[in-house]
Each structure stands twice: as C-alpha cells, then as structure tokens.
A and B are shown apart, each in its own frame.
Chain A
Amino acid sequence: MSGEPILELTGVRKGFGPVRVLHDVDFTVRAGEVTALVGDNGAGKSTLVKCVAGIHPMDAGTVRFAGEPVRVAGPRDAARLGIEIVYQDLALADNLDIVANMFLGRERGPGGLLDEAAMERAARETLASLGVRTVRSVRTPVSALSGGQRQTVAIAKAVLWDSRVVLLDEPTAALGVAQTWQVLDLVRRLADQGLGVVLISHNMADVFAVADRIAVLYLGRMAAEVATREVTQTQVVELITAGRSGELGLARPETAVV
C-alpha cells in the first residue's frame, strides 16, 4: 500500500476576507511516505493544514481520503477519518495536565465519566515510546512545562490515536538536538508503519533527512511536488524563495505576487 495516495486535496482555495491565502492548491499525501511541506513564512502552510483539519472551512476545493470523496466540516470529522495534527501553536490548555490535554475531546470512560486510570496509562506509554525523559510526571499541568516539553506533549497527543495521516506543523521548532532526532526518527517510523506523514519545517537538513517527497508552497500556490532524491537543497531553497528553479516550479512566479 506504500505510495498509494491516502489524502488528496485538489483546487483548495482559502481567503481571509479580501486576502487570498491559498490559490487552487493541489496536494497529495501518500501512505507510507513522509511528505515535507515547505515554504517561506506566510506561504500558507499552516492555513492548508487547518483546512485539512476542518478548522478553516475551504472556499473551494475537494478532499479525497483513501480514494473516497469526504467532507471535513470540523475537527471531529478529521479525527474520525484518522487525521491527526500537531499545530504550530500547539493548542494545549495550560490549566490542564498532560493526560487531560492528550485526551482532550476524546476522553475515555463510561457515559459522561472519566476513566483516569486508563488515560494515564496510555499517556505514559505513548510518552515513553517517544523517549521523553525530562517530564517529571504525567500529572504536571502544561503551564509548568518548557517549550520543548509542550511540543513533545503535542506530538504525543497526535501519536496516541490509531491514525492514518499525521500532519506536523514545525514540530521540532523548539526542540533540542536530541529531541529533534527523536521526533524525526518518530516521523520516519510512523511512515514506515504505513501512515501518511506530512512534515512542515524550515530546516532543510531535517527535510532531506526524512522526507520522501517535498512539496513547495510559494505565496499560496503549489510551486512543485517532487521526490527528494531528484532535487538538491539549493533547488528547494530557490523554489521556496523564488517559486522557480530551472525547469521546476511555477511558470511565471512574478504574477503570483498579485
């Protein structure tokens, strides 16, 4: 099943008021592959992810999941399909502890009650599998965690579920060297397990270390979707900054500015 498209976006348009942020973006996530989504600040990467998550309604465009057309009207729809997202701004409730955050909106327990024991166990196992060694206790409120620890919690939250697609929006931005490798390793492992993984990152070394394919957003347009082994870092950087590199990229990037 590796290489099969699991999530296909076509013609995604999104604007905030008069500002067009995404222009007819096509984007494909394949099962068993890591797709890096790169682009300059403000290119629209996070917006695209939020459209997939159902947080921002798309103005136009279609979504196919595992070949079937689907409508993602809200975060619950995304979760039901098995799409998990690690947001750039993390989206954790500071006043709740790690366990409560990891299960937020999907708490375990009979009726309207909470099964704290089951949730705490699962949370600890997931964190342990990520090799987290610096958090004192899973009952620590998130407000007491460092930036990197928060990021780990946000990632653990996405890994906890039996998901089929995981989108990580700059998951390593606040991490130290060792933790970054842990996360990249995890990203690779998830893909090897057959998940479709999207990694958004500004770090070319990270991208080239784990990604099978690279998609470049340039001012809200998809400039190129290429296999990692077919391009060099210089070419990707050119695509990011100019929208074009040799034969690759937008036909007339200068018109994209409008």
Chain B
Amino acid sequence: MSTRTESPAAADFGIDTTSRSTGEAVRDYLARLRAGDLGSLPAVLGLVALVVVFRVLSDGFLTLDNTANLLAQGAGKMIIAMGLVFVLLLGEIDLSAGTASGVCAAVMAMHYVRAGNLLGGMGTTVFLVFACGLAVAALLAVFLRIWAGAALSLLTLVLAVVGAPANPWLEMLLALGVGAAIGVITGFLVSTIGMPSFVVTLALFITWQGVILRFIGEGGVFGIGTDPVLFAVANGNMSVLGSWLLCAVVICGYALVVLGEHLSRLRRELVTTPTPLVVTKTVCVAVASIAATYALTRNRSTNEYADIRGVPYVVPIVLVLLAVGTYALNRTRYGRHVYAVGGNAEAARRAGINVSRIRASVFVVGSSTAALGAIVYSSKVGSVDPQAGGLNTLLFAVGAAVIGGTSLFGGRGKVLHAVVGGLALAVVENGLGLLKQPAAMVNIVTGLVLLLAATVDALSRRRAARG
C-alpha cells in the first residue's frame, strides 16, 4: 500500500475533521468544561484570585524579594506533588510520601554530617537493617522488573557500604536512591501482595517517621547549610546571563516542541489544534518567560548594601522535572500505560499490559521524586530535623496535585497540575504568613482549599459519568 492510495480512505473517515477553526476549538473547550473536564482551570483562576487578594491585603506580598522567596519555599513540596501525580493517576494514594522524603533527607544529611560514615552515624545494628532493606529493595525491583529502581537501590547500597566521603552530589544521589528503594518496597506491597495503598502507605507513614527519629535522634538536628552546593539548591540564584540563557532555552524549547509538532502534524494531515491557538500559546509562554526573567534579574535585596538578582535555581529544577514528567506521560509507551491502567485496569490487562508492574512503578516514581523534593526543602532550611517531611508536607503535596486538577479517582492528571496547585498553596502559606496569621490559620485554610478541590473533582467526575 502506498500513501497515495491510503489518503482517500483516511479522508473518507466520516465527518472527521483534522483541522478546526479557532471558534470551533473554543466551543469544544467550553463543551469539555461543561462536561466536567475542568483540568487546571479552577486552580489557575484561584491562583490569580489569591494573588490579587494578598496583593491588596499586604504590601509586602508581590515584591520581587517575596516572590523569589515564595518560589523557593513552595518548590520542595511542589516537587513531591509532581511525583504523586503518577500515583494519583492510578487512583492510588501514597500517604507516606512526606515521611519517606524525610528519610531520604535524613540519610543525605547524615552522610554529610558524618563525612560519609553512615555506619558510625547509625550504629551497627541500624546500619545492617538499612543495608538489608536496600538489598531487599534491589531484589524486589528485579522481581518486578523495574530496572531503574533496582539500579538505584543497588548503587545506594554500594555507596553506603563503601563509605564514600562526603560530597554534595553524592549525597543527593544517595537521597534519590533511598527514595527509589522505599518506592520499590511500597510498590511491591501494593501491587504484588495486593494490599490497598491506603493501608500500606499509612503504615509506612508512621514507620518512616520512626526511622527519621532513629536516624537523627530526639531533639537532634543535622546542619547541611554549610555545604555551598547543598545550600545553593534552594537558596542560590543563577547569574544574570544564566537566567537569560534559561529564558532563551525555555522559549526555544517550547516553540520547537510545540510548533514543530504542530507543523509536522499539519503536513501529514493529522488532527491538530488550530494554528492561531498554538501560536497564541507559544507567544504567551515567551512573554511570560521574558517578563519573569526580567523581574527576577533585577536587584531584589531589601538591604541596600547587598545585591541579589537572578532566577532561583529551584525554577530550572522544577521546569526540568516538569518537562521530563510531561514527556514521560505523553510521549512514551510507559506513560500511555499509566493512563490506561488508571482509566480501566481490566482493559489494560486484556491489552497485555503488565498492570502490577505499572502499579509498582508509580510508587517508585513517586518516592524518588519525593526524595528530590526533600533535597530542595532541606536546602531551604539548611538543616534536617526529626520533623522533616512530617507535619503537613503530605497534605500540601496531595493538595497541590488535586487542586491543580489531577483526579483522586485515577485516569486524569498532568504533572503541570502539581506545579499550578503547588503555586496556589505556596501563595496561601506565604500570604497568610505575611499577614501574621498563626500556623493554625494556615492549616485551616490549606485544608479547606484541599477539601474544595476534592469536591470539585468529585462533582466533575459525577458530571462526566452522567454524560
């Protein structure tokens, strides 16, 4: 069959339209909204409303200094939320993501504080249990055929046993590896043993909290702010030149991917979004990037003798994770299978997808990403204490994903949702802090916002089911 003979048949396909006018596309979008597919629209509107409200209530809110600070404050939990999106896509939950990230932070900090001597830091018995845990995780990952999880667990085991000297990059790798190992264990318990993820991760939530306490000790604290690299992760800024380079990379990257794909689809007569919409989107991203870079490269120091400028490192960190996560979900077979299992596990099984492997893998993704979040939030405060990853870390992370538009019922969600929702919650936390509201108030508002988002999710799902 040549392409020539295929084309008429393809063109024949009912009233299938490959190109829509902008008006039609907008109408389609409105119809989707009415059908209950809200995406991140409520979160974006909420974010705008919150920013306006806090701007009116507090002069200090929309200053450059506070904005940069807000990004760094929210980034850690936002990153945890990005990983949780994968778990939520399957309709599962990982209640242990917060404290699991705390364990990663504790191991990372102990390695730094003890100059690489984890054996000395933990004591012989605890270290043996720790090493065995990593070995078991590596074996389980091989059993589940999650090779990345196996490799990371094994690497961490080797690093821990060898006692490599302190090095910030090594410490971050260690955190990531511990996160992957934890995810393998969670994933195995949920997918192979078949326990509900709610129970498994609730049990592990408490367990990891105890582990952190055991590692750090009652009232103890590991300072990591003395290492320039570990400190810079959440507190450092790119140079002005670097910031503009990042801006250029973001704009060019986005344009290349979005416009490039659009053109190639147009050329091959595939279904496309209207060109004006694609161009508008690209222009919006470009304008927003330039404006943000311009603002963040101005001096934002509140002290006239200091000069603070440049895009905080957390911005490229979040952007890279966003790009990687989005690519994995939209462009790879793995991502397609994650959505399929979340949408209809039985259909996925009948299509020959290894459902239990996919189910286990999302926990590995979730915990590994939580470990990256732990690096960022530990860097922000410059130390790790027994409360690391506890308190409302998890609430915030789940909240961010759900507020952003990811469904708790599985099948619907994007990594971008975690970023949008994370920003909204960071604004709430930061804004209420500026208004000198006590923690009680912050917790109440955050909880209510999450409840509101979950309500929207449940209602829109009902609406979609009613058709």
Contact = CB atoms under 8 A, between A and B. Distances in A.
B343 A96 contact: yes
A94 B13 contact: no
B266 to A, nearest CB: 11
Contacts of B264: 117
B205 interface: no
Given A94-B411, A114-B336, A134-B14, A55 B349 contact: yes
Contact of A107 (B10, B336, B342): B336
B350 interface: yes
Interface string B248-280: 000000000000000011001011000000000
A76 interface: yes
Contacts of A143: 464
B336 A125 contact: no
Interface string A96-110: 100011001111010
Interface centre among B268, B271, B353 (most CB of A within 10 A): B271
B263 to A, nearest CB: 12
Contact of B351 (A75, A134, A139): A75
A137 interface: yes
Contacts of A120: 270-271
Contact of A95 (B14, B334, B339, B346): B339
Contacts of B391: none
A125 B9 contact: yes
Given A74-B352, A104-B351, A137-B17, A94 B333 contact: no
Contacts of A95: 339, 342-343, 411-412
Given A138-B16, A144-B35, A91 B350 contact: yes
A96 B329 CA distance: 12
B332 A105 contact: no
Contacts of B10: 121, 124-125, 128
B4 interface: no
Nearest to A100: B336
Given A96-B339, A117-B264, A124-B16, A91 B346 contact: yes
Contacts of B9: 124-125, 128-129
B343 A94 contact: yes
B344 interface: yes
A79 interface: yes
Contacts of B35: 144
A110 to B, nearest CB: 10
A135 interface: yes
Contacts of B464: 143
Contacts of A92: 344, 347
Contacts of A127: 13-14
Classify chain A: how many residues form its interface, as a range. 35 or more
A100 B351 CA distance: 11
Nearest to B346: A91
B340 interface: yes
Contacts of B339: 93, 95-96, 100
Given A93-B344, A120-B270, A104 B353 contact: yes
Chain B, interface residues (CB within 8 Å), range: 35 or more
Contact of A133 (B14, B17, B334): B14
Contacts of B268: 117, 121
Contacts of B436: none
B59 interface: no
Interface in B327-376: 331-334, 336-337, 339-340, 342-344, 346-353
Interface centre among A101, A105, A113 (most CB of B within 10 A): A105
B6 interface: yes
A75 B16 contact: no
B234 to A, nearest CB: 32
B15 interface: yes
28 contacts: A74-B352, A75-B351, A93-B347, A93-B348, A93-B411, A94-B411, A100-B336, A104-B351, A104-B353, A105-B337, A105-B340, A105-B348, A109-B333, A112-B332, A113-B333, A114-B332, A117-B265, A117-B268, A120-B270, A124-B13, A127-B13, A129-B9, A132-B13, A134-B15, A135-B14, A136-B15, A137-B18, A137-B271
Interface of A: 53, 55, 74-76, 79, 85, 87, 90-96, 100-101, 104-107, 109, 112-114, 116-117, 120-121, 124-125, 127-129, 132-139, 143-144
Given A93-B340, A107-B333, 13 more contacts: A76-B352, A85-B350, A93-B411, A95-B339, A96-B339, A96-B343, A104-B336, A104-B348, A112-B334, A113-B333, A117-B270, A129-B9, A135-B16
Interface of B: 6, 9-10, 12-18, 35, 264-265, 268, 270-271, 331-334, 336-337, 339-340, 342-344, 346-353, 411-412, 464
The 8 closest A-B pairs by CB, nearest first: A105-B351, A93-B343, A95-B343, A76-B352, A91-B347, A95-B411, A133-B14, A104-B351
